[in-house]
A = this chain, B = another copy of it.
Amino acid sequence: MSVEIKISLNEGLYLKDPQDSELGRNIIKNSIILIEELGIESFTFKKLSIRINSTEASIYRYFGNKHILLLYLVNWYWEWVKYFININTMNITDSKTKLQIIIHSLVFASRENPMVEYVNESKLQKIVISDGMKVYHTKEVDNDNSKGFFRSYSSLAFTVSKVISEVNPSFKYPYALATNLFEMSNNYIFFAQHLPKLTDITAKENENEAVENMLNYFAEKLLA
Contact = CB atoms under 8 A, between A and B. Distances in A.
Nearest to A151: B197
**Copies of this chain in the oligomer:** 2
A114 interface: no
Contacts of A175: 197-200
Interface stretch (A9-17, A19-27, A36-44, A53-61): A36-44
Given A133-B133, A199-B175, A139 B39 contact: yes
Given A173-B200, A195-B145, A197-B175, A190 B137 contact: yes
A130 interface: yes
Contacts of A153: 198
A191 interface: yes
A139 B195 contact: no
Interface in A119-136: 130-131, 133-134, 136
Interface in A178-224: 179-180, 183-184, 187-188, 190-191, 194-195, 197-201, 214, 217-218, 221-222, 224
B38 A197 contact: no
Contact of A194 (B142, B187, B188, B217): B142
Using C-beta atoms within 8 Å of the partner chain, give the interface range for chain A. Answer: 35 or more
A35 B133 CA distance: 18
Nearest to A142: B194
A157 interface: yes
A183 B172 contact: no
Contact of A154 (B130, B180, B198, B200): B198
27 contacts: A41-B139, A133-B133, A133-B137, A134-B134, A137-B190, A150-B195, A153-B198, A154-B195, A154-B197, A157-B197, A157-B198, A172-B200, A172-B214, A172-B217, A173-B214, A173-B217, A174-B200, A175-B200, A176-B184, A176-B198, A179-B198, A180-B187, A183-B187, A218-B222, A221-B221, A221-B224, A222-B222
Give the 3 A-B residue pairs with the shortest CB-CB distance, closest first: A39-B139, A173-B200, A179-B198
